[in-house]
Chains A and B, each alone.
Chain A
Amino acid sequence: MKDVLWPWGAQMFVHYPWVVSMAFGAAALLLSCLTWIRWNKK
């Protein structure tokens, strides 16, 4: 498992590409919270 997770990008991409694309989406959602919080503050 360690070999797959580290180095995190490449091996993960090769073995579980859909997980990486989901991670892209999750990162975008997390960052969106920043916008929503700041939007409501304005």
Chain B
Amino acid sequence: MTKISLYQLFCGILFFQQGTTIIFGFSSGAGRDAWICTLLSTAFGACLVYLFTVLMRLQDGLMLTEWFPALFGRYVGVPIAWLYFVLFFYDASRIIADLKFTINMIMLPDTPEWAVLAMFMLVAVYMLFNGIEVLFRIAGILVPIVTALYALQIILLLSSGTMHADFLLPVAGEGWARIWRNVWPLSVMQSFGETLLFAMFWPLVVNRRKAAKVSVSVVFCSGLFLTVLNLLIITTLGEGVYKRSIYPTISMLRLISVGDFIENLDALGLMFFIVTTFFKLSFYMFGCVFAFRQLAFVKNDRRIIVPLAAVSYCVGITMSNDIVEHIQSGFEELQYYVWIPLMIGIPVLLLPFAWKKSKKLKEGT
């Protein structure tokens, strides 16, 4: 039977929340105040994840897609549950599209994108065949390594003398309106709202009572990571470049130069990106497989892994023409029309029903 430890859950959520955010820049619209934006989003994100964990405790032992049929019956609950499958599937495909543009623009400009993505997808499929426990275990092994590399990156940046603390001033110089505009909804939803996916995996955790605490605490840890990253980028590049750059982390790492010897460390940034993207994609695909298995009464996961991965690959590769329209559709439309209703609207509506049912069950016992 699959069992996930609390440490593995912590590492899995941490990688998931860093995801593609680590390379695209978090709250970059807020310019030099992005770090304040990140701190505020972390606080709101923690509240949101807390809401998810309350729902999880009220529906003890059930996966996200089981919550709705259990509360609303088969004719109302099942379509809502399938909505989450569609959401996870679309988000997984978006990650493939993110990767398609990033790899071509930064790392392998002449290699056909379909080939790189096919290789990436093959590894993800291999991971899906191995099972969710293996993915969480690998996250547990890789988090200390990635954290050490992250610390190394900070040391190298400090020693290359490219950081200017005055780039952060004046703090909130353009007013709080710009900060709030970036906090809600994009920054709250982008990493923290997406954590709703883990409601598919919480029933597999050894200690579910503590899983709630761990899930909220990892939001603070992730927020701290992102705040430090934002501070590094702003003090290195300044507001102008940070706001305009699509890949600010890569631009920052390219500026590292220690004694004219340690240079061109953008590979380090890409390594972070590939690792965190791989985890995010794999978690989303696992979410899809679990949801499909549960909703379509499939007995064996293995029969649906390859078809789901193949369709997701095709959707991801044909999704957008260029990075600009890809980002525009994701950052401007997706959040209002899909993320907010599904990640905040439905969970908030679900809360009184779940509470009432749990109260009834307690009274019954």
Residues of A near any B CB (own CB < 8 A): 7-11, 13-14, 17-18, 20-21, 24-25, 27-29, 31-32, 34-36, 38-39, 42
Closest chain A residue, CB of each to CB of B317: A7
**Nearest chain A CB to B230 CB, angstrom units:** 27
**Nearest chain B CB to A37 CB, angstrom units:** 9
Inter-chain contact A35/B296, CB cutoff 8 Å? yes
In angstroms, Cα B328 to Cα A13, docked, is 9
Q: What number of A-B contacts does a CB cutoff of 8 Å give?
A: 84
User: Is B333 positioned at the interface, with any CB of A under 8 Å from its CB?
Assistant: yes
Interface of B is mostly: helix
Find A9's partner among B86, B297, B315 (CB 8 Å cutoff). B315
Inter-chain contact B337/A8, CB cutoff 8 Å? no
Chain B residues near A9 (CB, 8 Å)? 93, 97, 315, 318-320, 329
Given contacts A9-B315, A32-B82, contact A21 B321 (CB under 8 A): no
Within 8 A of A (CB), among B324-342: 325-326, 328-329, 332-334, 336-338, 341
Find B296's partner among A10, A28, A34 (CB 8 Å cutoff). A34
Given A25-B79, A29-B79, A31-B85: 4 more A-B contacts, CB < 8 Å: A10-B321, A11-B321, A21-B341, A31-B82
15 contacts between A and B (CB under 8 A): A9-B315, A9-B319, A10-B319, A10-B320, A11-B320, A21-B338, A24-B83, A24-B87, A25-B79, A27-B86, A28-B85, A28-B86, A32-B78, A35-B297, A36-B78
